[in-house]
């Protein structure tokens, strides 16, 4: 592979001159610059970033650690961030944790080893001590989920507030037995969203039934199983279900389709997340809708700014909350009369 030295020798000048010309150093004459540029172009010279990094430069690479990328939400996040970074000449290293702390730790090690300029991460439920220590050596920012032990820099959404308003929406429509399926409390968003769910009841003087809550690992499989479990109840069968995670929403839908449950006649639904097809599913799935693009854009721009300023750990403490909306479509109806009578 062609090096700056090759270009220099071909032109009979010094390597440093080549370097300066390529970096558009003001001390170099326009004539030399043109000469160097042309030769570099012709010879197919592309600067060696690892060498630059070793000299103390920043790596132009940013790590993104997310649970997975095969769904609309994280897909959009990756898409938005990659595009955002690309505009500033930064590349995106994609690390998938699978929500597994061991894998998370290995990935952090890889990223630190690659000397990325920074890391944006959706932390797992309980990051390992080693992960924390490694992160403390490198500029990083938490996305969506948050652990105070991982730093004070976080971009997230209004988890509690939006779930509360979705729950209130159901209560106002007459639902009294509302099921909730969400992530475990060890995940910060899981705790916040469940909390929003409960707050809606305490603020409305309608009884909250803890036995209608289900919490677990946010996967499609868990969502499907929890939905089945919740609807198999002998009494206080929920007339509506709210989900607090994208994967769980997919699992719930999978179950509803499998069990051929009529919505919203037999069951009202409020899903979580953002996918084009939610608009079409059975005439439209009402969802709690965080904006992946807004969230990722604000996070990406802010982070780039810090990285470019050469900010090292710790980054300034900063919390940004992106407001979500409740996209009202057709999956919520009033509960069936007979059932409501029986219940109240």
Partner DNA sequence: TTGAAAGCGCTAACAC
Partner DNA sequence: GTGTTAGCGCTTTCAA
- How far apart are the two ends of the chain, measured CA to CA in Å? 77
Please, what is the minimum distance in Å from the beta carbon of residue 37 to its own copies?
A: 14
* Residue 257: CB minimum distance to its own copies, A: 5
- Cα–Cα distance for residue pair 340/342, rounded to 1 Å: 5
Among DNA, its own copies, none, the one that 260 touches (CB under a kind-dependent 5 to 8 A) is none
| CA distance readout (Å), 263 to 71, 233, 326, 330 | 23, 18, 18, 9
CA–CA dist 184, 298 (Å, integer): 27
Residues 6+ apart with CB under 8 A from 47: 4, 22
The option from its own copies, DNA, none interacting with 16 (CB < 5 to 8 A, set by class) reads DNA
The nearest distance, CB 22 to its own copies, in angstroms, is 12
Distances (CA, A) of 333 to 225, 270, 282: 24, 11, 13
Q: What is the 3-state secondary structure (H, E, C) of 264-331?
A: CCCCEEEEECCCHHHHCHHHCCCEEECCHHHHHHHHHHHHHHHHHCCCCCCCCCEEEEECCEEECCCC
Tell me whether residue 32 or residue 266 sits nearer to DNA (CB atom).
32
Q: How far is the CB of 106 from its own copies (least distance, A)?
A: 8
- 128: partner contacted, choices DNA, its own copies, none (Cβ within 5-8 A by kind): none
Q: Is the dihedral of CA 254, 259, 262, 264 positive or negative?
A: negative
Closest approach of its own copies to the CB of residue 72, in Å? 7
Question: What residue 22 binds from DNA, its own copies, none (CB within 5 to 8 A, per partner kind)?
Answer: DNA
**What residues make contact with its own copies under the rule CB under 8 A?**
1, 44, 46-51, 53-54, 59-61, 68-72, 74-76, 78-79, 82-83, 86, 89, 91-96, 98, 103, 106-107, 109-115, 133-134, 137, 250, 253-254, 257, 275-277, 279-281
207 binds, among DNA, its own copies, none (CB under 5 to 8 A by kind): none
Q: Binding partner of residue 112 among its own copies, DNA, none, CB under 5 to 8 Å per kind?
A: its own copies
Two structure tokens written together for 160: 């509690």
5 binds, among DNA, its own copies, none (CB under 5 to 8 A by kind): DNA
Pairwise CA distance, residues 82 & 340, whole Å: 49
Query: Considering only CA atoms, which of 86, 155, 81, 162 is closest in space to residue 122?
Result: 155
Q: Which residues bind DNA (CB under 7 A)?
A: 1, 3-5, 12-17, 19-20, 22-23, 27-29, 31-32, 45, 47-48, 51-52, 54-57
Question: Based on CB atoms, which residue is closest to DNA, 112 or 261?
Answer: 112
Minimum separation from the CB atom of position 115 to its own copies (A): 6
The nearest distance, CB 136 to its own copies, in angstroms, is: 9
User: Which of 13, 161 has the CB closer to DNA?
Assistant: 13
- SS3 state of residue 136: coil
């Amino acid at each position: 592979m062609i090096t700056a030295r090759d270009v220099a020798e071909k032109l009979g000048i010094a390597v440093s001159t080549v370097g300066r010309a390529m970096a558009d150093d003001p001390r170099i004459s326009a004539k030399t610059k043109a000469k160097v540029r042309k030769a570099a172009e012709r010879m197919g010279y592309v600067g060696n970033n690892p060498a630059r990094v070793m000299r103390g430069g920043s790596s132009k690479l940013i790590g993104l650690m997310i649970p997975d990328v095969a769904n609309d939400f994280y897909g959009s996040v990756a898409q938005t961030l990659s595009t955002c970074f690309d505009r500033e000449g930064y590349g995106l290293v994609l690390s998938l944790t699978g929500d597994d702390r061991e894998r998370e730790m290995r990935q952090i090690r890889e990223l630190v080893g690659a000397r990325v300029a920074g890391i944006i991460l959706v932390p797992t439920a309980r990051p390992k001590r080693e992960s924390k220590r490694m992160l403390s050596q490198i500029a990083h920012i938490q996305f969506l989920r948050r652990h105070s032990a991982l730093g004070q820099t976080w971009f997230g959404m209004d988890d509690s507030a939006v779930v509360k308003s979705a729950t209130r929406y159901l209560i106002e429509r007459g639902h009294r037995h509302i099921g909730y399926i969400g992530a475990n409390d060890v995940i910060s968003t899981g705790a916040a969203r469940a909390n929003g769910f409960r707050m809606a009841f305490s603020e409305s003087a309608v009884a909250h039934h803890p036995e209608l809550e289900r919490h677990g690992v946010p996967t499609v499989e868990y969502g499907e199983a929890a939905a089945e479990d919740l609807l198999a109840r002998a009494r206080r069968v929920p007339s509506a279900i709210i989900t607090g995670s994208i994967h769980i929403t997919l699992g719930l839908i999978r179950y509803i389709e499998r069990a051929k449950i009529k919505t919203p006649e037999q069951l009202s639904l409020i899903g979580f997340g953002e996918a084009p097809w939610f608009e079409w599913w059975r005439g439209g799935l009402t969802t709690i809708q965080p904006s992946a693009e807004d969230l990722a854009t604000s996070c990406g721009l802010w982070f780039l700014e810090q990285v470019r300023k050469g900010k090292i750990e710790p980054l300034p403490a900063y919390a940004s909350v992106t407001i979500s909306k409740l996209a009202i479509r057709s999956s919520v109806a009033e509960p069936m009369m007979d059932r409501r009578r029986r219940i109240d």
